[in-house]
Amino acid sequence: MPDAPSEILFLRKMHPLVEAAFEGRYGVHRLAGAADAEALLAETGPRIRALCVGGAAAVDAALIDRLPKLELIANFGVGYDAVDAAAAHRRGVVVTNTPDVLTDEVADLAIGLVIATLRRIPQADRYLRAGHWPKAPFPLSASLRGRRVGILGLGRIGRAIARRLESFGVAIDYHGRRPQADVPYTYHDSLIGMAHAVHILIVVAPGGADTRGLVDAAVLEALGPEGILVNVARGSLVDEAALIAALKAGTILGAGLDVFENEPHVPGDLAALDNTVLLPHVGSASEHTRAAMAQLVVDNVVSWFEGRGPLTPVAETPWSPNA
């Protein structure tokens, strides 16, 4: 008798490429949309070898404990702050993510947000559509010329953003846990010190408890009245209440945001402000890039089940073929 197929649990609806790749190949169970999610988890939990997750679907220690045969958590996305990777590591479970394949897309969008926020592109579009142009020219905007840009988090995406910024001829600073010897940019050992030095602050650091509220009222005050905040990382890195207060008071000039603290809910006070450009978390949301992310999820799961190990394990759950 042939062995039963390995069983996988989807915590949320996955990309069609993932669904198609696993259907008929493995035993797939879907928690989202189940008539009785608790009953499904109780019945299938003892057999699940892999979880496929993404977005805000949380994987905590309690869920991991309910899956005694769990070996792999395949995260759809480069950020995995919704997964308790430390708890997974304690249980010997490997967590994978989808780095690299979305780097260029998110970096492109970050540059787009910088320019759109400085030059007020959405506001100018609304001005034209409302019929105001025949009455008066659109007001002059700020410019990227003569600006200094600070990047919070010089990882894969941060470096890709910096490379793009070089072509604009702007000075580039960065802040992270440590200086990086192989880049020509100016390092700051404190975020508030960098905020004082730059005109544009781009947030691209990982989310999680260690970075929650990192961009607070003091950082925004240091950024100053000509300052622009752009966030393409996680909404949790920015104190949203402090940001709204700073935008209303003119403490900073404007903000371009692709991420928010309580997605998909955006505070009405933030949405009402005219000195913001707000996007619904679309940094990697092109058909090309989402397909590449989905393929990497598939490749990680298939490689694991075929005994070759994970392709992109996260730092908290390192894997060695000799382990």
The catalytic residue positions are 234, 263, 281
* CA 183 – CA 189 distance, rounded (Å): 15
- The reply to whether omega before 264 is within 30° of 0 (cis) is yes
* CA 51 – CA 54 distance, rounded (Å): 10
Residues 233, 87, 71: CA angle, nearest 5 degrees = 100
CB within 8 Å of 91: residues ≥ 6 apart: 64, 65, 70
